[in-house]
Each structure stands twice: as structure tokens, then as C-alpha cells.
Amino acid sequence: MIGRLYGVGVGPGDPELITLKAYEVLRIVDVVCAPKARADRPSRALEVVRPILHDTGRIQEVTELIYPMIRDLSVLEAFWERNSESIVSKLREGKDVAFITMGDPMLYSTFIYTYRKVREKLPEAGIEVIPGVTSLTACAAASKLPIAEDDETVALIPSTAEMEKVKGLAKHADTLIFMKGVKNLWELSKALIECGFGESSIVVMVKGYGTAQENVKFGSLGELHRWNSEDTYLSTLMVKRCTV
């Protein structure tokens, strides 16, 4: 019998934000796969779920898989291939596998690439995705700043996006959410003002939500260039339009 693969979102960092369904899945699976960026660094997702795994009363296999944060597609493909093959081998043994990921498995997640590879290699395997609390909703909760209301539009932008693409999105969105860190705040604030965001537009940056290092910072777009650049993967920046 082929095992079942679960893509499990474990939220933005606070173990109490893991959903009940994710909690139950983590208690019953045979194998937990945890992605991490480098061999010498711990998996953030694994740190979040350790209390649950500790309390299961079962011996579960835990495998940490490396997904480097680089842009060389050929190198990434090799890692995706190797990691998916490792998961497929467990599924062929009849083991149920949970692939855990920060936030949600279908939003800027390493699970997406793994899911495609596993489906390609083992199409008969059952695959279920357990959604998780995202960093963008966590940012709104921490700041008490709504993401959108009435007919407002929202754009999600990764830190790797080119500035010209950011400008194009900024011309049509009321709220901009920058995920996975923020680079060059001076260039960003200048570009957004050029695209119609007022200097008094509200800006909030949330770093390390749900962790001991959590920090919430408020300000305006006009002063954003004076902030320290937050090229940190667990940072989220939200900008709300104001033309005054």
C-alpha cells in the first residue's frame, strides 16, 4: 500500500497558531519532513512543531531536507529531485509523510516544488494539503491594521521582485505586502511615492511573529528610507495607500 503525503502549514512561528487538523496529522504520520535552507542551520518549521512531536508518544522519523535560497534553477532542480525521491521512497514503503512548511504550503512554499515532483514520480499517491496561517495575516493581526476592506485591492510581492514589477503593481493596488524580507527601503519608498502612494501612507513591518524576537514597527512611507533594511526571511512589510 502506498503511503499518503500531507503538505502541512505550521503558521508564522507561534505553535499555538497550528490548526487542529495540522495538529492531528502531525500526531499520526510516520515521517515528518522539514525543509531548511542550509545543512548547518535548523529548520524553523521543525522548531515550531517539536512540542507536538514530543507529545505523540510514538517514534516518528524526522528528516530535514535542504532547499537552498538561491536563484540558480539548475541547482534548485537537483535539490527538488533528490528531496522528492526521498519522500517517494517513504511513500512506497507504505509510510504516511508530513511535509511541514512555515505559513501555508501553497504560498511561496518549498512544498509546491516537492508536490509537483512527487505527483510526477508517484501519481497514485494520495496527497492532501493542510492550510496554515500566513505571514501576511499574522502581520495584520500583530499590527491591528486591516489588509483590505470594502473594495480595496491587495498585491503580494516577494523580496526578489524587480523594482519595475513592484511599480507596476503599486499603480493598481491599495495595499502592498512584501514577503520574505525587504531590501533597499530607500529605493522602495521612492518608487512607491512615484506611483501614487502618499508620504503619509501607513507602513508596518513585522519581524519574527510569534517568536521571542517578534518586533512590530509602525511608521509612514515618507520615513521608511530611514529604517534599517530588513533583509530577513521572517520579515513582512505592509504599506497602505494614502494620497494625502
Write the pLDDT tens digit of every residue in 19-71: 999 999 999 999 999 999 999 999 999 999 999 999 888 889 999 999 998 88
Q: How sure is the predictor about 244, in pLDDT bands with cuts at 50, 70 and 90?
A: very low
196-229 in b/e form (b: 16+ CB < 10 A) is ebeeebbbbbbbbbbeeebeeeeeebeebeebee
For residue 161, the enclosing domain spans: 135-240
> Do 121 and 145 have their domain in common?
no
Q: Which of 99, 130, 161 is the last residue of a domain?
A: 130
Do 115 and 143 have their domain in common? no
| Span 193-216, pLDDT tens digits | 999 999 999 999 998 888 888 889
Mean pLDDT across the stretch 141-155?
95
* pLDDT tier, 229 (very low <50, low <70, confident <90, very high otherwise): low
What rounded mean pLDDT belongs to the chain?
93
Determine what percent of the chain is predicted with pLDDT higher than 70. 97
0.85 exceeded by pTM = yes
Alpha-carbon distance of 191 to 242, in angstroms, equals 15
Return the half-sphere exposure (C-beta side, CA atoms, 13 A cut-off) of residue 15: 12
Domain end among 78, 103, 130: 130
56 plus 168 within the same structural domain? no
Structural domain tally of the chain? 2
Same domain, 21 and 103: yes
Residues 94, 38, single domain; the answer is yes
**89 plus 10 within the same structural domain:** yes
Give the CATH number of the domain where residue 142 resides.
Answer: 3.30.950.10
Do 21 and 120 lie in one domain? The reply is yes
pLDDT of residue 235: 86
pLDDT at 15 (0 to 100) = 93
Same-domain status, 122 and 177: no
Residues 178 and 232 in one domain: yes
Q: What backbone torsions phi and psi does residue 65 show, to the nearest 5 degrees?
A: -115, 135
Q: Specify whether 195 is located in the same domain as 114.
A: no
pLDDT band at 181 (very low <50, low <70, confident <90, very high): confident
